[in-house]
Amino acid sequence: MGKQAKASQPSSFLDLEKAHHLNQQKQYYAIPKHPPLPPPPAPEQWFPWLIPLIFVANVSVFVYSLYVNDCPSRNGDSCTLYPFLGRFSFEPFNDNPMLGPSITTLEQLGGLERKSVVEDSEAWRLVSCIWLHAGALHLASNMLSLIVVAISLEQEFGFLKIGSLYVLAGVGGSLRSILSTYNDSKISVGASGALFGLLGAMLSELIINWTIYVNKCTALSTLMVVVALNMAMGILIPHVDNSAHIGGFVTGFFLGFVLLIRPQYGYVSRRYIPAGYDIKKKAKYKAYQYVLWAVAFLVLIAGFHMSFKKVYEDKVMDIPI
């Protein structure tokens, strides 16, 4: 037994020495591991210039409408804030409590009127009406909402997407207003339809980009409260075109799915992956995002087509063959 023990010691020693030598060789020739992948840079925010420009345009158009209105030439001293504002004085308070021009002036400058759009083919009024306002109070409330809501949206998504959303939602609101009234002499003006479109887009943006938000339920509930309050104000305040609000909101809601889609959480663009890194790359969008985008796009195409067809179908039927 003693001889067997002495014979096994050299063998064990040699095995340990050989294993140690092989381990050193593995460490020497091992391929060095890459350091952890650096996080991609935060998305750059756009400089918001379009929304301030829209603000200036709305104010300028309102001042121009007062100049064209020229209340003192028709009503003299009865104009509101005359002679302090001179030619730019408002219509008498009994005629326009919103402190603005007359209905005739608003119609002349492009206010939305069913008869003019349908019978006279003045489709440009669908766009022009969103730049006009019934009065200083109307203008102030809309411009405050514009600055609060739209500045951050332009910073995140850029002027092209938000500008397109603003105008198309305004047109959607105008179409809904035309389709919901049979009073040919009613004049509708204001940016409310476009502004409600921005609120609708904020809601759909939250839904389609659900994975990138942390406090999802809080953000959703807060946004729903804001939308509900704005809708309630439109219902309670007299002489407000709620049809334009609803049309703008619905149009903006579906436009948000199309224009404001963002990559899913964890997606890294190939240009931010250094050479030599072999990582499993996530798809840019989730399957449900593709589905929502496609459905919203089809709904928008069908909605605008059917709305324009409905607005002009009576006139088309009257065209002699």
Q: How many CA atoms lie within 13 A of 254 on its CB side?
A: 19
Assess whether 138 carries a catalytic annotation: no
Residue positions counted in the chain: 321
The continuous run of DSSP H or E covering 69 comes out as helix 50-69
Query: Who contacts 249 (Cβ-Cβ below 8 Å, separation ≥6)?
Result: 169, 196, 197, 199, 200, 227, 231
CA dist 306 and 304 (Å) reads 6
CA dist 84 and 65 (Å) reads 17
Helix (H, G, I), strand (E, B) or coil at 258: helix
- The helix-helix angle for 136-157 and 50-69 (nearest 10°) equals 160
The single residue of 89, 177, 245, 307 carrying the catalytic annotation is 245
CA dist 305 and 318 (Å) reads 20
Query: Who contacts 57 (Cβ-Cβ below 8 Å, separation ≥6)?
Result: 131
The single residue of 177, 192, 204, 307 carrying the catalytic annotation is 192
Assess whether 8 carries a catalytic annotation: no
Question: Contact, 105 vs 90, CB < 8 A?
Answer: no
CA dist 207 and 251 (Å) reads 16
Active site residues: 192, 245
